[in-house]
Structure 1
Amino acid sequence: MSSISNTSSAASTAAANAALQSAAQSIISGSTGNTSMDVGTLVTALVNAKTAGQAAALTAQQTTDNTTLSAYGALSSALSALQASVANLANGTTLSTFAATASGTGLTATAGAGAVAGTYSVAVTQVASSQALSSAAFGATTQLGTGTLTVSLGGQSMNINVDSTNNTLSGIAAAINSGTGNPGVTATIVTGTDGAHLVLRAANSGAANVINVSTSNITSDTGLSSLGVTSTASTTGGQSSITSANSSSAWSQSGFAQDAEFTVGGIAASSASNSVTSAISGVTLNLATASAGTTQTLTISQDTSAESTAINNFVSLYNTVVTTMSTLTSYNSSSSSQGPLLGDSTLMTIQNSLANIVGGAVGSGTTGTTLAAIGITLKDDPADGTMVVDSTKLSTALTSSPATVAALFNPTNGIAEQLNTSITNFTQTGGLIDTRNTALNTDLKSITTQQSALADYTAQLTSQYQAQFTALDTLMATMNNNSQYLTALFGGANSAGALASANNN
């Protein structure tokens, strides 16, 4: 508050005056022979008398500038929070939000950009899955021979060199997992009652992602050649099939490579993934196993809950800006204290600009629409400046008059876009607040320079006065000693003196 700075300056001046009076009394006492002068106190008092007023004024201005900078910081934070809250209202994203609801289990959906309201019948025949193959059983430590295994998946492949250091099932599994250029095949060892099995799994689902293993350059073969397997992708929407290189050591499928097969409104579709983005524009279908064999109704509707939350959040943060500005411009007559930005032209410009936007209409003439049309009005007290939301009226507008809401928050000249543009002008580099802060920081640098110069002057003056009054104190002490000697010798008002006493004798 500015009154605090003024009080501090006045107190500093009063203290300096009191010290000066005390120093003057020290000179009088020293000159009359009562005591010697208090040089330190005298010098401090005289220096303070010359510098205290300026020092206090600089400190007071420094405090005012820093307080004002903090005030603009608080205002900028409130404005930035408001701008963040209106971003998606300004660009139309929030008012294009849709919710997706399925009537059964195993099918969920999310609606994004490009979605439109509608109802769809979704029948799922099968969900997408990835292939998993299990080899025949071997001894866990059996050495299977040496050679080369070529492992491929969906048209990509890698070669695994099998030698005496890795020709057990576990060694081969480790080589596959760490192989350079692995196309997306993971290998594990599963041990059952019949022995150890090499299990290969495809990372990606879909009919085309089948695993093939071929062998070559085999020597000392004790089972390595039987690890060859050929997988065939289904071309009719069914499951993958396999052919083992050695029928006596056959591979088996524990998981099938297949696409998701479904219809939307009777239109057949498929997907290698259970996250389907290509079937309905702007909608992602998520298929789980439970959806297979079901026909469900998928409803895409406007997400009025998300829109209501966004609009209420906008009102709340606008009110925060208003109350912040109110605090910064407050005045308390009982204590004569005031907010740091009371009467500040920059804040008044921002305040009026925001009020005009939220109180104005979007559109012109009879087509203009205000926030009041969707249940957002100013409080009854016009001096308050904050807004209130009629939840029932807003809900009705979102449900029954979405065009009105869309017009108010259109991305061209809607309420949110106007606020977004104005706040950018206020807070950007070179904007109103930045210009004011730059001036304040320049003033603070000037104050620091002045304080440094004043400190140098204070030190110089102290040194000068110290020398002068020390010399004066010495002179007065000598004069007092001489005066006392002459009085003792010649007498004074109350004594005859040593010479007079001698003559009388």
Structure 2
Amino acid sequence: MSTITSSVNSATANAQSQVQQAAQSIISGSTGNSSMDVATLVSALVNARTAGQAAALQARQTTDNTTLSAYGALTSALSALQAAIKNLSDGTTLSTFAATASGKGLDPKAGPGAVAGSYAIDVTQIASSQSLSSAAFGATTQLGTGKLTISVGGKSMDVSIDSTNNTLSGIASAINKASNNPGVTATIVTGTGGAHLVLRSATTGSANTINVATSNVQNDAGLSSLGVTSTPGANGGASTIVSSDAGNAWHQSEVAQDALLTIGGIAARSASNAVADAIAGVTLNLSSASVSNPQTLTIAPDTTAQNTAITNFANLYNTVVTTISKLSSFDKSSKTGGALLGDSTLLTVKNALASIVGGGVGKGTSVVSLGHIGITLKGDPADGTLVVDSAKLTAALNSSPAQVAALFNATDGVGAKLNKSIDEFTRTGGIIDTRNNALTADLKSVTAQQTKLSDYATQLTKQYQSQFTALNTLMATMNNNSAYLTALFGGSKSAGALATNK
């Protein structure tokens, strides 16, 4: 309010000064020294009538926009804190586990549903995808025309071979471009004996074998020899093949097979090397290094991730506190205050969050607070920020996980309370939204008043322009008459034409 008053006073004083300067033109004009400065006079008078209100509206507009921006900064800080505590408020973070293997080739990942435990893992084979290479042909040899039916894992497609694509490269291109390709890629590998068509299944697992059948072959120069039948191995074992032409046989360069392993002596099998169904909540990403390399898998609480999440929560809470402090600050030297100095909404938010963070969870002797896990308020009580002792927090996560879990439980834990409180502040219809709506409505009102004031100034300018133009004309006529009469009759310092008979 003091800013608005200051702006109005300054604008009013400036307008009065302009009026005084312009009024001098009337005095000068009336004494015959010069004509009246109508434009300046009109502008000064209109400004004098409107300057105070215009300044007040402008100051109100500036204050409203500054306050809206301040609430935006507060909301942003609160939203960032709310995002950080989401997994703390619903208990997700404190139920996370880390999976480690004693050897190489497992690369375990623990996710939702994992539980603490230790498992002996022995991998006997990893999953692989089948790769077949044909007999050698000339790179540009036309193999004939007809149809190839190619199937992978029970899905098939037909590829028409005609005079435009009946070379090995043409066949490979037709296979790769087919819109209903069942999951096979084709390439050409040229060796010392000639060019080979190489087919590879895109998916691992013993069931994903490749079969090629030929039909309607004409002008056969090798097309019929591209037939091959693959048979999955028993119990996920290696696939085998039979070529349609033993003289131009296919070669199985890589077999189709499942991953086979035992977990604590229990046999497991997977078509993929990302074994996700064997241990609840755990995925084992197998590589060849795991084969015949018995090792131990350990699932334990992920205290590193938990420490990071809790520390991040403290840091973002501090961001909210410093944002509030900046918005409500007062600089004694410049005598300027923050955009929300003395704002009741800001005070409500500050007190509510401080009460939650400074309070405890539980009842009686079972009450636990942030201080129990190494998080305390900074030395200066007025500061309000949190300080994290990482060593104490790590110790609490390792030795007192139940206490930490209680502090951040999903019902009335610190995270749950903060999440609920912030939601009340930032939701549609909450106190910040209500305040923003009021400010937005006031800005619309200010704009409407500014439009009316502008229309009034335009009307007043036309009115004054007409009045003072007429006055200026009259004064000019009077000055001319005065000069004529003085010349005719003389004045106090000279004789007129009549007196001198001129």
TM over 0.5: yes
Tell me, yes or no, if the aligned pair for 1:5 and 1:63 is still in contact at 8 Å: no
- Alpha carbons of structure 1 residues 497 and 274: separation in structure 2 relative to 1, 3 Å: same
Task: Establish whether residue 26 from structure 1 lines up as the match of residue 15 from structure 2.
Answer: no
State the identity %: 68
2:304 aligned partner: 305
Q: The residue matched to 2:157 in structure 1 has which SS?
A: strand
Q: The residue matched to 1:83 in structure 2 has which SS?
A: helix
1:53 aligned partner: 52
2:182 aligned partner: 183
Structure 1 length as normaliser, TM-score? Answer: 0.94
Task: Establish whether residue 74 from structure 1 lines up as the match of residue 73 from structure 2.
Answer: yes
CA distance in 1, matches of 2:146, 2:479: 120
CA distance in 1, matches of 2:219, 2:470: 114
Task: Establish whether residue 246 from structure 1 lines up as the match of residue 245 from structure 2.
Answer: yes
Partner deviation per Cα, 1:304-355 (whole Å, 9 max, x = no partner): 1111111111111111111111111111233221111111111111111111
1:482 aligned partner: 481
CA distance in 1, matches of 2:481, 2:219: 128
1:94 aligned partner: 93
Tell me, yes or no, if the aligned pair for 1:3 and 1:338 is still in contact at 8 Å: no
Q: The residue matched to 2:121 in structure 1 has which SS?
A: strand
CA distance in 2, matches of 1:389, 1:296: 37
Task: Establish whether residue 331 from structure 1 lines up as the match of residue 330 from structure 2.
Answer: yes
CA distance in 2, matches of 1:177, 1:482: 106
CA distance in 2, matches of 1:63, 1:431: 24
Aligned runs of 1:290-439 on 2, under 5 Å?
290-439=289-438
CA distance in 2, matches of 1:439, 1:104: 64
Partner deviation per Cα, 1:452-493 (whole Å, 9 max, x = no partner): 111111111111112212222222233333334444444444
Tell me, yes or no, if the aligned pair for 1:153 and 1:212 is still in contact at 8 Å: yes
Q: The residue matched to 1:34 in structure 2 has which SS?
A: coil
Tell me, yes or no, if the aligned pair for 1:158 and 1:180 is still in contact at 8 Å: no
Task: Establish whether residue 126 from structure 1 lines up as the match of residue 125 from structure 2.
Answer: yes
Amino acid at match of 1:131: Q
Q: Which runs of 5+ in 2 are unaligned?
A: none
1:265 aligned partner: 264
Q: The residue matched to 2:297 in structure 1 has which SS?
A: strand
Tell me, yes or no, if the aligned pair for 1:185 and 1:203 is still in contact at 8 Å: yes
CA distance in 1, matches of 2:194, 2:465: 103
Q: The residue matched to 1:160 in structure 2 has which SS?
A: strand
CA distance in 2, matches of 1:324, 1:59: 27
CA distance in 2, matches of 1:299, 1:218: 58
The RMSD of aligned alpha carbons is: 1.9
Tell me, yes or no, if the aligned pair for 1:3 and 1:337 is still in contact at 8 Å: no
Partner deviation per Cα, 1:29-74 (whole Å, 9 max, x = no partner): 3333333322222222211111111111111111111111111111
Task: State the aligned residue count.
Answer: 502
CA distance in 2, matches of 1:201, 1:57: 78
CA distance in 2, matches of 1:180, 1:83: 47
| Structure 1 position 172, deviation (Å) | 2.2
| Structure 1 position 180, deviation (Å) | 4.3
CA distance in 1, matches of 2:32, 2:372: 91
2:231 aligned partner: 232
- Which stretch of the first structure deviates more once superposed, 123-132 or 42-51? 42-51
| Structure 1 position 494, deviation (Å) | 4.1
CA distance in 1, matches of 2:142, 2:35: 111
- Alpha carbons of structure 1 residues 38 and 223: separation in structure 2 relative to 1, 3 Å: closer
Q: The residue matched to 1:159 in structure 2 has which SS?
A: strand
Task: Establish whether residue 40 from structure 1 lines up as the match of residue 11 from structure 2.
Answer: no
Aligned runs of 1:453-472 on 2, under 5 Å?
453-472=452-471
CA distance in 2, matches of 1:18, 1:275: 84
- Alpha carbons of structure 1 residues 169 and 488: separation in structure 2 relative to 1, 3 Å: closer
CA distance in 1, matches of 2:486, 2:231: 135
Tell me, yes or no, if the aligned pair for 2:97 and 2:301 is still in contact at 8 Å: yes
CA distance in 2, matches of 1:42, 1:161: 94
Amino acid at match of 2:448: T
Tell me, yes or no, if the aligned pair for 1:3 and 1:336 is still in contact at 8 Å: no
- Which stretch of the first structure deviates more once superposed, 483-492 or 62-71? 483-492
Tell me, yes or no, if the aligned pair for 1:131 and 1:201 is still in contact at 8 Å: yes
Q: Which runs of 5+ in 1 are unaligned?
A: none
Structure 2 length as normaliser, TM-score? Answer: 0.95
CA distance in 2, matches of 1:290, 1:124: 9
- Alpha carbons of structure 1 residues 191 and 498: separation in structure 2 relative to 1, 3 Å: closer
CA distance in 1, matches of 2:127, 2:342: 68
Aligned runs of 1:437-456 on 2, under 5 Å?
437-456=436-455
CA distance in 1, matches of 2:179, 2:448: 66
1:65 aligned partner: 64
- Alpha carbons of structure 1 residues 236 and 498: separation in structure 2 relative to 1, 3 Å: closer
Partner deviation per Cα, 1:112-137 (whole Å, 9 max, x = no partner): 00111111111111111111112222
- Which stretch of the first structure deviates more once superposed, 132-141 or 110-119? 132-141
CA distance in 2, matches of 1:323, 1:439: 26
| Structure 1 position 138, deviation (Å) | 1.8
